[in-house]
Amino acid sequence: MRPRLQSEREDWMQQAVADGAGICLLPEFSAIVPGLALRPVSGLNLERQVSFVSVSGSGNAPALRHLRMMVGSHRWPHSAGASKQ
């Protein structure tokens, strides 16, 4: 495959696909723009790992401490093939 359009903005890519400009692969739990037709991909091992990392300590802003608490208490979804770490 030779990509014709590339961007770090996933919403722009999704909108281009919704407008009929091609196809794209999206993570299972992505936010989806209206107008996309979704189809599962099988037979490929497509995965990613996202990490939240911060340095613990009294120097952190209250907003960062709150975000860390929210990340730690959220019940994150796992796809059928994902392993809990």
Size (the chain), residues: 85
- From first to last of the 85 residues of the chain, give the pLDDT tens digit: 677 788 889 889 999 999 988 888 887 778 888 888 888 888 887 777 778 887 776 677 888 888 888 988 988 877 554 444 4
Handedness of CA 32, 34, 40, 44 (dihedral sign): negative
pLDDT at 21: 87
Nearest in space to 7 (alpha carbons), one of 75, 15, 20: 15
Domain-by-domain residue ranges, the chain? 1-47
- For the record, the structure tokens of 17 come out as 């696909």
